[in-house]
Amino acid sequence: MEIETLTLIQKNAYLIITIILCLCLYGYILSMYRSEARGERDYEKYSRLALDDSMNDEVIEKR
């Protein structure tokens, strides 16, 4: 394969993957806000993991 063709494939593959990953990232934000708006999850409660971390503190979500 010609080096120019190879470079072209590399460039385009990089661009397409970047766009797909961007969409995934924005989709992730959307899903976070939607699941919280619907009351399915409360992400903010996990902040307490650092604060209530004594052995005697209640587990926030058991496994």
Partner 1 sequence: MQKSIEYDYSIAKLFVFTTLLFGAIALLVGVVIAFQMAFPSLNYLASEYGTFGRLRPLHTNGVIYGFTLSGIWAGWYYFGQRVLKISYAEHPFLKFVGYAHFATYIVVMILAVITLLGGLTQSKEYAELIWPIDFLVVITWVLWGISLFGSMGVRREKTIYASLWYFIATFIGIATLYIFNNLSVPTYLISGVGSVWHSISLYSGTNDAMIQWWWGHNAVAFVFTTGIIGLIYYFLPKESGQPIFSYKLTLFSFWALMFVYIWAGGHHLIYSTTPDWVQTLGSVFSVILILPSWGTGINMLLTMRGQWHQLRESPIIKFMVLASTFYLFTTLEGPIQSIKSVNALAHFTDWIIGHVHDAALGWVGFMIIAGTYHMVPRIFKREIYSKKIIDAQFWVMTIGIILYFSSMWISGITQGMMWRDTDEYGVLSYQFIDTVLALIPYYIIRGIGGLMYLIGFVMFIYNILMTMTAGRLLEEEPKYATPMAS
Binding residues for partner 1, per CB under 8 A? 7, 10-11, 14, 21, 25, 28-29, 32-33, 36, 43-51, 53-63
Minimum CB–partner distance for residue 39 and partner 1 (Å): 15
Identify the residue whose tokens are 């209530």: 52
Minimum CB–partner distance for residue 54 and partner 1 (Å): 7
How long is the chain? 63
41's CB contacts (< 8 A; 6+ apart) are 35
Minimum CB–partner distance for residue 36 and partner 1 (Å): 7
Q: In whole angstroms, what is the distance from residue 14 CA to residue 11 CA?
A: 5
